[in-house]
Chains A and B, each alone.
Chain A
Amino acid sequence: MRLAREDRFGDIEPLLGLVEKPSRYLDHEWGVCEDQDGPFHTCLIYADVYEVGQPNLGLAILYDELNAQQGFSCERAYLPWVDMADLMREHGVPMLSLETSSPVASFDIVGFTLAHELVCTNVLEALDLAGIALRSDERDEDDPLVIAGGPSAWNCEPLAPALDAVLLGDGEGALVEMARCVRDARDEGLSRGQILLRLAQLDGVYVPSLYDVVVDKTSTRWGYAVPKEGTGAPAMVRKHCIPDLASTDPAVQRIVPYMSVVQDRFAVEVLRGCARGCRFCQAGMTYRPVRERPFEQVVPAVREGLRTSGFDECALTSLSTTDHSQCARMVRTLNEELASAGVRVSIPSQRLDSFGVEMATAVGSSRKAGLTFAPEAGSQRLRDVINKNVTERDLEFAVTNAFKSGYRRMKLYFMMGLPTETDEDLLGIPRLAEDVLRMGREILGPRAKVSVSISVAVFVPKCHTPFQWAGQLPLEEVHRRQQLMLHAATDRALRVSYHGSWPSLVEGVLSKMGRAGFDLILAAWRLGCRFDAWSDQFDFDAWNQAAAEVGLNLEDVACETFDLEARLPWDHTSPGVSKGYLQREWRRAMSAEVTPDCTFTSCTGCGVCPSLGVSNVLAGERA
C-alpha cells in the first residue's frame, strides 16, 4: 500500500539515543538537495548501512541528475543497521528516506543499487521494512515502482521477482528517461502493467515480468528467459552506454557526510571501463569500452569539488586509474597544488609494474601501510590462463622499485580455485611471496623488518565473463588447498589470510542461479539473513537451512560447470560483449593463450564497439 508522504523524523528521533551510530540517520549533511518538492518523487536506496553506501559514486551521479530535472526530485535511503531496524519494527516505524524523512513506500519510484550479490537479502529487508510487497506481482496499482541497477545487475534473475524493472549499463540519462516515462504514463492514467510495457521499450531497461523462464535441453537447469508474446519486450536487452564520459559532470559528489564513511574523500571518476581483459573480472567485461575523462576536465573538477566540499583528500577513481593516458600528469599537478593545504591525492588500484610504484610514491602512499599488488595467481601459466598480463619480471621490477623507495611491507592479492588450477600453481603463491621477501632483505639488508602478507580469496565465477561456465571450488577442497598453502609458507615474515569461504559459496550460488534463486533468498531472509557481506552477521547455517527448505544444496549449485553451448539464465541481457567472444576467450584460457588490451594494441573483437555504436575514447597515448 502506498503510504502518505509526510515527515516522520519525529518517529525515529526517540530511537536515536538507543542505537549504536545515530549519525547514520540524521540527514541534513552539507550539499544535500533540500528542494524535494517533486511532484514526481524518487528514492534511491543503497541496501547497506550509510557509511558503506554514502560514498557510492553511481548513486551520487543519479541523485544529481534527477534533482536537476524540473518536476522531479530524488532522495536517498540506506538500510538501517540491525539495531535500528529492530527498533523501527518494534515501534511500527517504516523505512524512511533521508532528505524529508518520508516513508519509502510513499515514493513514485524506489531504486536499488545492486553493488554485489550478497546484497540480495538486504533488498528484501529494505522492502519489508518499507512496507512494500516483496514480489512485483503482489504490488498495488499505486505502489512505488521498484527498480534496480548497478554493477551486480547483470545477473539480477535471482532477485527478478522483486523488481519491476532493471536498468542495465550506464545510469546517466537512462534513469531520468525511466522516471519521465513513468510520470507521463501515470499522467495518462495507464495501469501498472501498461507502464511496465512502456518501460521495456527504453534503451537498457529490462522488465523481468515480461519474460517467461524456459528450461529445456538447450539450457542449464536454471533455464533461460524469453519475452512473453505480445509484450513487445526485446529478446535481448542491451546495456545503455554513454559514448563519452567527458559529456557528463565530473564533480557529482556534493554531499559531505558527518560520520566517517568507508571512502571519506572527494572522488572524481577519471575513466570508465577497463580493457585489460582479465578473464575472471566482471567489471572488465561489462563496463567496456574504455572512456577517459581528460586532464582539462579532471583537474578543475577536483579543485572545485575540494573547495565546495571541504574534504582533505581527493581520489581519482576508476577500475584502473594508472592506465589513464594522463595519469602521471594529473597526479603530479594535483599533488603540487594541494600538498601545502594538507590535501592528499589518492588513486585506487595499483598497476603491477614500475609505473604503478612510481604513482604510489607520487601520491605519498603511506610507507607504513605498504603497497598492494594483485598478481591473482601464483604461476605464470595460471596468470596466462586468467589473462593477467603480468610476468614475473614485471613483479620483480615493481617490488624492487618499491623496496628502493622505502616500502617495507607488501600486500599481495591472489585467488584460489581458478579454472585449471593445480597444487603446483598454488604452491607458487608462497614461493612468490618468499621471493619478494628475499628481494626486500637483499635491498634493505638482512635486518630490515620486511614483511609480506598474502590474501587469498576464493574465485567466484561471474556471468558475462569468459569464466561464466566454470564451477566454483567445493568447500572441502578450498580448505585443503588453504592448508596446503599454510604449510608451505614457512617464513615468519609471511602472513597468509583467507577470505571467508562460506560467504563466497553463497555469492557463487547467487551468481549462478536464475530466477529460481528468489525462493532461496526469500527463505534465507525469512530465517534472519541480512547484511550477509558483514562477517559478524553472515549466518552460513541459515543459508544451508534455507537451501534445504527449497530443495537445494548450496555446493551443488555453486560448483556446477555449465556446457559451453548451453543457454544461460542471463543470455537475454547483454553488456555488448558477445557470447562468441567469451567462448573464444574461454578456449584461449584453456590453452593459456593471452589476449592483449585493445587500448594498447588493436581491437580484439569483443563486440562492444560495433554492437553499441561506441568506441574507446582516450585522452592521449597510453603507455
Chain B
Amino acid sequence: MSTLPPNACRLRVRYVKDGRLAYLGHLEVMQTVMRSVRRSGVPFEVGNGFARRMRIQFSQALPVGASSRGEYYDLLLSDPLDEQEALEALRLASPKALAPNAAMLLPRRVPALEAWADFSRWKVCVRGLSMDAEEFAARVQELREQDVLRFMRGEKERSISLAQTLVSCEASDVANGIDLVLQTRHSSQGSLRPAVLVNAVCGVAPLRVCRMGQWHLADDGYLIDPMTRGE
C-alpha cells in the first residue's frame, strides 16, 4: 500500500465482457456491476440526492453484442481498503463473464472516466463476405475521403465524421472472411461503432466485435492506459 496516493478513495476497476453476456446493453451492464459491488461488501459512497445512488462512473458504452477485454468503472469508496482485497471481493461477487481483473486506487479527483478514456482498439471478425481485405481497405479509404458517414439507427438517420473518429483500420484475409483491427476515437459527435463502419462498407454481414482495450489519447499523441497510476 506504500505507493498509494494520499487521498486514495477512488477504486478503478477493469473488467471484461464476455461470452453470452456480450449481448447485454450498457444499462444492463451498469446495473449488474452496481449489484455486484453491493454483493461484494466493498464500502462505497452514496450520493446525497433523494435517490441516494451509488457513486460510480463507467467508461464508454459498449454496443450490444460486442465483447470486451477492457471495460472500466470508477467507484468512490466510503472507507479505504486494500486494492487486491477489493478486487478479490468484487471478482467473487461478479458473474464470470463480467469479471473484474484489475483494480487500482486513485485520488478522489480525476477526470471523468467516460470522457477521458477516449481511444478504443477493436478486433472485428467479418464472415461470409464477397470482398477481400484489399477491397475492404480501399472502400474504407473512399469513405474516409467523404468524411461524413450517414447511417440509420432504428428509424432515425444519424451521421458521424470519420475524420474525427476513425484513427485506423487494418484488414487482413482469413479463411472465410476478413479480420479487422480498428482504432477509434471518441469525438464531441460521439463514437464510431465498428458495426456501422462494416455495414457501410459491405452491408449487413455476420460479425463478431471485441473491444481489445481503451486508453486516453494524450495531447502529445501517447496512449495512456487507464491502469497507470500517474505520478
List the B side residues contacting A307 at CB < 8 Å: 39, 41
Residue of B31, B54, B65 near A342 (CB, 8 A) is: B54
Q: What string of 1s and 0s marks CB contacts (under 8 Å) between B85-109 and chain A?
A: 0000000010101000000000000
Given contacts A259-B28, A307-B39, A312-B38, contact A26 B21 (CB under 8 A): yes
CA of A13 to CA of B52, assembled, Å = 38
Contact with A along B22-39 (1 / 0, CB 8 A): 011101100110111111
**B64 sits at the interface (CB 8 A):** yes
A340: CB under 8 A from chain B?
yes
Assembled-state Cα–Cα distance A17/B198 (Å): 15
The answer to whether A258 and B39 have CB atoms under 8 Å apart is no
Q: Any chain A CB within 8 A of the CB of B223?
A: no
The digit string for B125-157, where 1 denotes a CB below 8 A from any CB of A, is 000000000000000000000000000000000
- Measured CB to CB, the closest approach of chain B to A450, in angstroms, equals 21
Residue B46 is within 8 A (CB to CB) of chain A in the complex: yes
CB closest residue in chain A, given B25: A23
A28 touches B23 (CB 8 A): no
Residues of A in contact (CB 8 Å), total 28
User: Contact: B20 with A310, CB < 8 Å?
Assistant: no
* B97 and A306 form a contact (CB under 8 A): no
A355 proximal to B (CB < 8 A): no
Decide yes or no whether B53 CB sits under 8 A from chain A. Answer: yes
Q: Give Cα distance in the complex from A408 to B28, angstroms.
A: 33
* Interface flag for A93 (CB, 8 Å): no
A310 close to B21 (CB less than 8 A): no
Residues of B within 8 A of A342 (CB): 46-47, 51-54
CB distance from B204 to the nearest CB of A (A): 10
A339 contacts the other chain (Cβ, under 8 Å)?
yes
User: Which residues of the partner chain A approach B52 to less than 8 Å between Cβ atoms?
Assistant: 339, 342
Across chains A and B, the number of contacting residue pairs, with CB separation under 8 Å, is 73
- Which residues does chain A contribute within 8 Å of B25, judged by CB atoms? 23, 259
- Return the contact of B20 from the options A28, A30, A339 (Cβ within 8 A): A28
Instruction: Give Cα distance in the complex from A312 to B41, angstroms.
Output: 13
CB-CB under 8 A for A26 and B36, given A260-B31, A339-B52: no
Known contacts A17-B65, A28-B21; A310/B97 CB under 8 A: no
B65 touches A309 (CB 8 A): no
Residue contact A30 to B31, C-beta cutoff 8 Å: no
Question: Considering only CB atoms, which chain B residue lies closest to A19 in the complex?
Answer: B23
Smallest Cβ-Cβ distance to A30: which chain B residue = B95
Q: Is the CB–CB distance between B46 and A258 below 8 Å?
A: no
**Chain B residues with Cβ under 8 A from A9's Cβ?**
20
A384 to B54, CA, bound (A): 48
A306 close to B38 (CB less than 8 A): yes
Is A66 close to B, CB under 8 A?
Answer: no
Q: Which residue of A lies closest to B39 (CB)?
A: A310
Interface centre among A29, A307, A310, A340 (most CB of B within 10 A): A310
Q: Taking the complex as formed, is A535 at the interface, i.e. its CB lies under 8 A from any CB of chain B?
A: no
The docked-state distance in angstroms from the alpha carbon of A129 to that of B27 is 30
Shortest CB-to-CB span from A101 to chain B, Å, is: 10
**A258-B38 in contact given A9-B20, A23-B25, A339-B52 (Cβ < 8 Å):** no
**Closest A residue by C-beta to B195:** A17
A26, B23: Cβ atoms closer than 8 Å: yes
Q: Are B36 and A310 in contact (CB under 8 A)?
A: yes
| Given known A-B contacts A17-B65, A256-B35, A22 and B23 have beta carbons under 8 A apart | yes
Q: Judging by beta carbons under 8 Å apart, are A258 and B21 in contact?
A: yes
> Pick the contact of B32 from A258, A340, A341 — CB < 8 Å?
A258
- Most B-side CB within 10 Å, residue of A9, A307, A342: A342
Is A592 located at the chain interface by the 8 A CB criterion? no
Q: Are B24 and A312 in contact (CB under 8 A)?
A: no
Residues of A within 8 Å of B24, CB to CB, are: 23, 26, 258-259
A260's partner among B27, B35, B95, B97 (CB-CB below 8 A) is: B27
> Nearest chain A CB to B173's CB is how many angstroms away?
23
- Top 9 A-B residue pairs of the complex, sorted by shortest distance between their CB atoms: A310-B35, A310-B38, A342-B52, A22-B23, A310-B39, A342-B46, A258-B28, A26-B20, A16-B23
Given contacts A23-B24, A28-B20, 20 further A-B contacts (CB under 8 A): A13-B20, A16-B23, A26-B20, A26-B21, A26-B24, A28-B95, A30-B32, A30-B36, A30-B95, A256-B32, A259-B25, A310-B35, A310-B36, A310-B38, A311-B35, A339-B52, A340-B46, A342-B46, A342-B47, A342-B53
27 contacts between A and B (CB under 8 A): A13-B20, A17-B23, A17-B65, A22-B64, A22-B65, A23-B24, A23-B25, A26-B23, A26-B24, A28-B97, A30-B95, A256-B35, A258-B21, A258-B31, A260-B27, A260-B28, A307-B39, A307-B41, A308-B39, A309-B35, A310-B35, A310-B38, A310-B39, A339-B52, A342-B46, A342-B47, A342-B54
